[in-house]
Chains A and B, each alone.
Chain A
């Protein structure tokens, strides 16, 4: 449980960081909160040559609240987000997601961008970012680029981040006023990664669904969106039968894995249950949605 030898760098600017990434490429790892990386190092499952600690880079620890978005810098901890009064008021889904992550000790260290960059398919923040149509900003040798989260995740722990790029911020758009939200998950214990989970956003206008985003997580190599199912929901009158139908349709689309905690069959069926429950709860939270 001691890491293999590595060289430790503590750059004080993004430029310096990019320089190091260019020098070490895939042999480098960025250390922010370290909640996933340090165990991997200690178990020698990750053996980077260079560890680049970005905790001395200024301004990356800021949460910026814009009119239509919450922008979170690369060093912002999950705890910072959880305790931010504007976030709590304007994007309570983010707070609910973060509260499902580990325990306060973990959230004090773990970073929002770190979780999103790591991209564990059972993690809450990547799923929430996908549901919220979030975008990530990455910086590399040729400058900045912005990537929609849906395009960011390529497969199991694989992202569109290049070896010489670092994620500098994530931007969570604030859904239209009156949008209801919900996150549902089954975990073996409070704070564990989900065995399976769902995030839903629902907005109702004139008694019909005007917009909805549905995400299932823990059910594939990355969090999953279901555009066809969402399209069918939009324009319909919300209700138990409609949501059950949507959940069933999503179940049909899933092909999850087995592990020691849950079988593929369990994940598939319970994923549908959680999608249904998420839609129901989001509807209850909707302005004009409660019946």
Chain B
């Protein structure tokens, strides 16, 4: 498993990102940069009602508008496409019969420009018969609540109690039981670039091609084949570089369906659709994490956590399932050695925008709750928040650690990560500073929060076994081509997204063959059903792509050594690869450069040995071996991190000012430390958004109120502290370099850290904040409720 020292070289170095020149200078060909002859543009008429029957649609005036080529309704769409599904709920890309949320696509228009297409929307007359709306999960689970789906006799799409050990006994026998109720808002990724698709149906073959900025090409190909019925050999899904995704571009299958059917109706003309910002905010299908928690945690007098019970009610809007709530099962106990735990989840649909993936995929809320409960227990027991965590950590010698539900953590050293974070933060001094500020009547708070990060997503195993993801999300593939000049071209089967995948892929391949990075070029290749591959998600690529790359390197190496043996007249086992050359193990005598070997492979028949496979391209499609742990963790690695924050709350206005932010994290070996630092800072930014700013607000009758960036507030550079960052390195035994998935670590912990700090600031007033985001209004209202205010 572990890579030999000779292949490490550049791996672990902070080399410059190969993505930057193309992305930062705007040279990448994003989806909206593509223009095809005869291309049409789509605009989508969306539902103004949260819940209504569609009585009639009259699009004749729109069709008559010059420039309009086709109008597509749900009724027509079902003749060409099947539904999407998520745990029982089933819906079409355009509403059929009724609408279930404001912003649901109802009619799509293809026209010669987006302007004309939007003009046409004004001319479509849809008659609705409004139905009572289900505004939230609480209403949804009432026995007499209106039903969203006729195929379900309930709005509850998933309900299950996961119980391990004996949580009831643990809580009964506890010296201290702390309880809490929390409300988490719905929020989502908001990449700079929204979703975009161009689709072209081929009337001659019945095939279809879609170009898109989909995050997971496997999902796009799955949509073409499974939803649209395009024959597998004629379905093509090309990927363009992204302006960010963070999960939100996994869910763009509906746009592939709409544009492909429109293309079919337009005789095979290419049809483009670019989601606009309002559409993204209102109806991306990737709203996430709206949940209510009702929890009880038991402790002994010394602060050891004995067990807990969490009851979670999640509102997944009109189109969503429980998967993001289920992910907590993969990091159920956080960093703590707690054996008796219960996790009870109810997932309900409501008449709001659909739930879908957002960076972190659920655990950020889980850790917010756990960490806040740790603080509450510490306060009740008179312990320092850092100390209570120290007393409950899984210890370094306990790894690999089997959680009570049979999901294994590979490695870690939590006490050390905490120690480093506290040391970097100057924790004792911070507490003194806090005392000083408090003595001046100021509300200063410190948060110390910890989280673990499931990484290296390996597919639908464990808690995801029943997940109808619309494609297999396990394999990852890489192809290496040895060019005629000896340079290496590496195909990966997903788009450049900006996280640094192309950079570390270059590092891994260059290091393996001992060539400079300039001789390796990583490109996005067309994802193909014949080369099973998934794309980035679940902090997986630093693990899964690396395995695929090394698998391909091994295949090429074998060929090079076989050919080298023939040309040097030495046994292959006496040869090795060093500094871009095939050399005898003795390091004496003749050697061959990659170029020498490539020249033969590319066409010098006279030098070719008989019977050897000399194809200069090799592909490895890698899938993790079946899980050995009982439950089957969907994640191969568990990074972890500790955040320490000092902030001040303005007691008169409720504003929060962050004064200091420190992160120590352990994602094992860093393939490129600077890339990890950037990813950490980005996750921190999104975590700050969660903790302080972002929230999709709906009115009580289901109307979205946060449909522009005036009302859905993303953090800007002024709101996000540049964190001081420290690295602890506990190599993973599960990966070639000891690396762990690191894409989501910071957003896992930031909301918890800030939330704990705000509550620490409010503690002297005897009030508590239980709802995110910690907006000035909410904090002010909490302060007003203080017995000592007023």
Contacts and interface: CB of A to CB of B under 8 A. Distances in A.
Tell me, yes or no, whether A binds B: yes
Interface centre among A5, A43, A44, A260 (most CB of B within 10 A): A260
Contact of B652 (A189, A261, A270): A270
B776 A186 contact: yes
Contacts of B719: 189-190
Contacts of B695: 260
A190 B718 contact: yes
Given A262-B776, A270-B780, A273-B652, A4 B693 contact: no
A274 to B, nearest CB: 8
B162 interface: no
A156 interface: no
Interface string B692-715: 010101000000011010110101
B693 A189 contact: yes
Given A1-B277, A43-B708, 10 more contacts: A2-B114, A2-B118, A4-B119, A5-B115, A189-B693, A193-B710, A260-B697, A270-B776, A270-B780, A274-B653
A188 interface: yes
A266 interface: yes
B716 A188 contact: no
Given A191-B718, A260-B711, A266 B705 contact: no
Question: Looking at A1, A273, A274, which has the most chain B CB atoms within 10 Å of its CB?
Answer: A1
Interface in B637-684: 652-655
A83 B250 CA distance: 45
B705 A260 contact: yes
Nearest to B651: A273
Given A2-B118, A260-B706, A188 B775 contact: yes
A195 interface: yes
Interface of B: 114-115, 118-119, 122, 276-278, 652-655, 693, 695, 697, 705-706, 708, 710-711, 713, 715-716, 718-719, 775-777, 780-781
A152 B409 CA distance: 67
Contacts of B697: 260
A51 B713 CA distance: 30
B318 to A, nearest CB: 21
Contacts of B277: 1
Contacts of B705: 260
Interface residues of A, number: 26
A263 interface: yes
Contacts of A269: 780
Interface in A269-291: 269-270, 273-274
Contact of A2 (B115, B711, B716): B115
A183 B655 CA distance: 17
Residue from A103, A195, A266 with most neighbouring chain B CB atoms (10 Å): A266
Given A1-B277, A266-B781, A189 B776 contact: no
A154 B118 CA distance: 35
Contacts of A261: 711, 775, 777
A189 B119 contact: no
B718 A188 contact: no
B411 to A, nearest CB: 39
A274 B653 CA distance: 9
A5 B776 contact: no
26 contacts: A1-B118, A1-B277, A1-B278, A39-B708, A44-B118, A103-B716, A186-B653, A186-B655, A188-B713, A188-B775, A188-B776, A189-B693, A189-B715, A190-B716, A190-B718, A191-B718, A195-B776, A260-B695, A260-B697, A260-B706, A261-B777, A266-B654, A266-B776, A270-B653, A270-B776, A273-B653
Contacts of A262: 776-777
Contacts of B115: 2-3, 5
A103 B717 CA distance: 11
A16 interface: no
